[in-house]
A and B are shown apart, each in its own frame.
Chain A
Amino acid sequence: MKRTVPLLIAATAGYVLVASRFIPVTEKWGEVEAIWFDILAAIAFVLGGGSLLKLHLRRISDRTAGWGYSLVTVIAFLSTMYVGVAKTGARPSAEQEFYGQSLATLRVDDLPASLTFRVPGSVPTRADGEPLPLDVQRQLSQEGGDLVFRGWMSPKQEADLSAYKDELAWQCTVEKLFEKAQPPAALKGKVTYLADYSKLGFRGYMTEANHDALKQLGNGEPYLAAVADLWAASHVEERVSVAQPPATFSIPKAEQDWLFYDEKTHELAIRGPMSVALRDKLARDDFPLVRPTTAEQRAAFVKEVEAHGGKLSEAQTRELENALAKTWSVEGLRFALDEAGHAVPPEKSACELYQEQQDQSRKPSAEATPKPEPDVKLNDRQRAAIDEFVRQGGETVDVLAAGLHAAGPFTSRQESALREFFGKVPTVGEQKLDACIDLLRIGPLTREQRDFLRNDYREQSQWRQTVGDLFVKAHKVKYPWSGQYNSPGSWFGWAYEFIFKPCTATMFSLLAFYVASAAFRAFRAKNLEALLLLGTAFIILLSQTFAGYWLTSWLPSDPQQNAVAWLRMENLKILIMRVFATAGTRAIMIGIALGLASTSIKIMLGQDRSYVGKD
């Protein structure tokens, strides 16, 4: 029994995997078995660690020779394992922290009745029996003839549900359900419900109006407790000290309830969490963006750099002027905005298409659309506003956007395109720093020149650091264990980078010395075979380097034109690898494959029992 069962297990495991390659119905079995194999391989690592610990602890307890080294091994093992399993020093995963949102626990069952939405309909059946998408299973149910959804539906959930069945009737039902299962207008864009996390979420600072609107949605104890938690979390005030905010820094009046600069204490303060978008906006918006420059402006800038320390070399001057010239163009911006102004006919909704299908007289057509809006192109006043933006140098993108709105029709798509365009444009500080790096690569710069080129970036970086500090302070960590165990900054990452990686690499690098020693002591051209081996080794060694190329560079280069070209080192190498080495390796591979097949079949037939051990 002790020996028979393992033999049967081995044989069955082998047969299933072989069968899964040939019999389609067993393909899934093979997949499942491969997953089990993968998991067992991971557990084998745990076993390895356990065995190591067992062996060295025994050495320590028996006080065998060298037990001190075993003690070192055990300490190293346990401390690395601890910092790895505990993720000591690892920051939580940025993607799972819901930055800018406060979360409060609220299970699906505790949702108030006003967050239950119904539409007539039923879940369709699929021929393949695939269940509903995972992200809606907790919230979607069927009651009577209605589809019931608890909580608010996200666009992703709508997309997944629509894709569940490619049928207009179903997609129309999902569309109706999505339209219904949305927060009230007063809370739109502020609240979310994350069923998979059992959390109610609120973005940013909660005003009294938001609070009242939320309280009106339900009166159950768990729900009100969650709302109270959100209220408290969104009112927590955090501050960071700021030596000097940027010259153009200002906070819009509408935001001053929850974001303000205290001039008395020189502190930047926020109430509630800070979103990533707000952080990036605060960090960057108050710094001037690069503008297109003329040749005169570029030459003047070069003179200004030289005035700070000395003449630049010709190559440096050229590089600097090229760097300054590489920027966006007014034509490019105008083109992008005009493109964004093209009217895009609205897509028909699933219900509209379904309605057309029901109407027998016409075939549904997604291409037939209502008459689109006319294209919106920039007018002269708007073009002038852009030119003014380029001339001014200090205006922010917000000011430009406002100017474009005031000067003529300007759609939301155009505004998005404008922000996207300038999102990729560096600030003046960033451009000057890049120029500094490029100049240093070519030649030296004086300290004054370097300071002139990098001071703007330093100010920007300092401010970014301050905003980042406030961002971190204002954030309440939700999943401290979600980060990567080996991220930079974690103790495990430190052990990997400064112990594991260098030691492993160094151990292998010792082989370089041994191969040299072996070459001197053992490689003897005693017979033809050895001579062939050494000769080939010489050719390969030479052809791997420039020396080989240089030695035979006087020969013709193309073997197709002249057969003598085969004597060039690089061509010889190709010939050896493509013909002789391939022949030899091919034969070895065929031999190994046959041997492996024989061993595998012996295992599967139970003839090879070496792994079972003796009776």
Chain B
Amino acid sequence: MKTETRIWLVIFVLAAACLAWDVGDRGASRAYVREVDGRVAPATVADYVAGTAQFSLSRTIGIWVAALLTLGIFSFLYRDNPFYKLTESILVGVSAAYWMVVAYWDVLIPNLFGKIWPGWIQSWAMPGLSPQRDEYWFVYLVPLALGIMLLWRLSPRGSWIGLWPLAFSIGATAGLRLVAYFQADFLGQIRSGIMPLAFFKDSTLDVERSIENIVLVTGTICCLAYFFFSFEHKGTIGRASQIGVWVLMITFGAGFGYTVMGRIALLAIRLEFLFDDWLWLIDPSQRRLGM
């Protein structure tokens, strides 16, 4: 047996022993719910303290599944392995189905079928919907037709039919974004970027604010100069674009700093799940008070 395999075997055996003690002795990894009127909700601290929380087998199995899948994904950090590949396959399948189901119940049923056949949808799926058709219900036949054409892309023949709805989406996106970006990101930013280079507060020159404004305006112009690739970057334009590069580097450095914070937060929450919900090593929200 290779040394690496031996080390991993020892680690797994130790981990299994600790887990067995944690689960068997301390009752870790168990999920509890509160069931009222046939509806289930996760148990709250009041339920734990009162002793009215009920053990939930399905949620307990769920916690174990989530923990094992989490570890499966983390195992990729060591190296690619079948456990990771299995987890990835499950995730891909579940994600794709998730989006489909959400689109079906949240959009297609109420906003498409519910507009064309409101009485039928109301009778079984959405009793709160009005069974009366809107005055202009027939406009919804267009997205229905376009949708069928879009799904034709799955067919081995005639997938070109899917081009029409695709073209509609592309054209609509172009139209939606053109004006919005111009208004908010172009004109809006230019408007915000025009600021007084000599800022007066109560008739006195506010030096600090004035310097800030000068740097901001100059920085913006210099960065824009850098993005002007139609002109050769030499002379004044060259110097301006050099300053622009420096400002951009500061921008990217700031972006990096924020990105790191975001990534660490993601890792922290996963570890918190493993330590809190699975292993019961910590209880930061004091949910299991009195257990």
State which residues 21-71 of A face B: CB under 8 Å: 21, 32-52, 54, 66, 69-70
The answer, among B95, B97, B126, B270, for a CB contact under 8 Å with A509, is: B270
Most buried by B among A15, A77, A464, A508: A77
Q: Does B18 contact A (CB under 8 A)?
A: no
The answer, among A5, A17, A80, for a CB contact under 8 Å with B97, is: A80
> Is there an interface contact between A592 and B253, defined as CB atoms closer than 8 Å?
no
The answer, among B46, B127, B151, B220, for a CB contact under 8 Å with A437, is: B46
Q: Does B250 contact A (CB under 8 A)?
A: yes
State which residues 46-82 of B face A: CB under 8 Å: 46, 49-52, 58-59, 62-63, 65-67, 69-70, 73-74, 76-77
Binary flags per residue of B98-124, CB closer than 8 Å to A gives 1, else 0:
111111111110011000000000101
Residues of A within 8 Å of B193, CB to CB, are: 586
Binary flags per residue of A510-538, CB closer than 8 Å to B gives 1, else 0:
11110100010000000011101111110
> Is there an interface contact between A76 and B93, defined as CB atoms closer than 8 Å?
yes
The answer, among A458, A471, A507, A536, for a CB contact under 8 Å with B52, is: A458
A/B pair count, beta carbons within 8 Å:
463
> Is there an interface contact between B130 and A196, defined as CB atoms closer than 8 Å?
yes
> Is there an interface contact between B257 and A536, defined as CB atoms closer than 8 Å?
yes
**Given A577-B254, A586-B220, A499-B94 contact (CB < 8 Å):** yes
CA distance in complex: A94, B41 (Å): 14
Q: Does B157 contact A (CB under 8 A)?
A: no
Residues of A within 8 Å of B107, CB to CB, are: 38-39, 41-42
Residue on B nearest A451 in the bound complex, by CB:
B51
> Is there an interface contact between A482 and B126, defined as CB atoms closer than 8 Å?
yes
From A133-141, A174-182, A234-242, A382-390, give the one contacting chain B.
A133-141
Binary flags per residue of B178-204, CB closer than 8 Å to A gives 1, else 0:
110110011001101100000000000
Give chain B nearest CB distance to A436 CB in angstroms. 6
**Given A18-B179, A458-B51, A73-B90 contact (CB < 8 Å):** yes
> Is there an interface contact between A46 and B49, defined as CB atoms closer than 8 Å?
no
From A214-222, A257-265, A400-408, A488-496, give the one contacting chain B.
A488-496
Q: Does B232 contact A (CB under 8 A)?
A: no
**Given A488-B40, A597-B178, A450-B290 contact (CB < 8 Å):** yes
CA distance in complex: A481, B164 (Å): 34
Residues of B within 8 Å of A532, CB to CB, are: 246, 249-250, 253
CA distance in complex: A478, B62 (Å): 30
> Is there an interface contact between B178 and A601, defined as CB atoms closer than 8 Å?
yes
The answer, among A54, A79, A502, A535, for a CB contact under 8 Å with B66, is: A502
The answer, among A50, A80, A534, A575, for a CB contact under 8 Å with B101, is: A80
Q: Does B19 contact A (CB under 8 A)?
A: no
CA distance in complex: A76, B262 (Å): 30
Residues of B within 8 Å of A580, CB to CB, are: 215, 219, 247, 250-251, 254
> Is there an interface contact between A84 and B212, defined as CB atoms closer than 8 Å?
no
> Is there an interface contact between A509 and B186, defined as CB atoms closer than 8 Å?
no
Residue contacts A-B, CB under 8 angstroms, 11 given: A10-B167, A37-B172, A46-B108, A78-B97, A93-B127, A437-B46, A506-B70, A519-B260, A536-B252, A537-B256, A579-B215
CA distance in complex: A577, B250 (Å): 9
> Is there an interface contact between B174 and A590, defined as CB atoms closer than 8 Å?
no
Closest A-B pairs by Cβ, 10 of them: A540-B257, A536-B253, A76-B93, A584-B251, A17-B175, A583-B219, A84-B101, A13-B171, A587-B223, A10-B171
The answer, among B35, B52, B150, B290, for a CB contact under 8 Å with A47, is: B150
CA distance in complex: A577, B247 (Å): 11
CA distance in complex: A594, B96 (Å): 35
Residues of A within 8 Å of B38, CB to CB, are: 91, 468, 472
CA distance in complex: A112, B246 (Å): 83
The answer, among B103, B112, B128, B249, for a CB contact under 8 Å with A96, is: B128
Residue on B nearest A529 in the bound complex, by CB:
B249
> Is there an interface contact between B186 and A433, defined as CB atoms closer than 8 Å?
no
Residues of A within 8 Å of B150, CB to CB, are: 40, 43-44, 47
Q: Does B10 contact A (CB under 8 A)?
A: no
Residues of B within 8 Å of A587, CB to CB, are: 219-220, 223-224, 226-227, 244, 247-248
> Is there an interface contact between A507 and B91, defined as CB atoms closer than 8 Å?
yes
> Is there an interface contact between A611 and B167, defined as CB atoms closer than 8 Å?
yes
Give chain A nearest CB distance to B77 CB in angstroms. 6
Residues of A within 8 Å of B87, CB to CB, are: 503
Q: Does A120 contact B (CB under 8 A)?
A: no
Residues of B within 8 Å of A588, CB to CB, are: 223, 248, 251
Q: Does B7 contact A (CB under 8 A)?
A: no
Q: Does B237 contact A (CB under 8 A)?
A: no
Residues of A within 8 Å of B105, CB to CB, are: 84-85, 485
Residues of A within 8 Å of B289, CB to CB, are: 437, 440-441
> Is there an interface contact between B49 and A454, defined as CB atoms closer than 8 Å?
yes
Q: Does B42 contact A (CB under 8 A)?
A: yes
Residue on A nearest B180 in the bound complex, by CB:
A21
> Is there an interface contact between A6 and B249, defined as CB atoms closer than 8 Å?
no
Residue on B nearest A519 in the bound complex, by CB:
B260
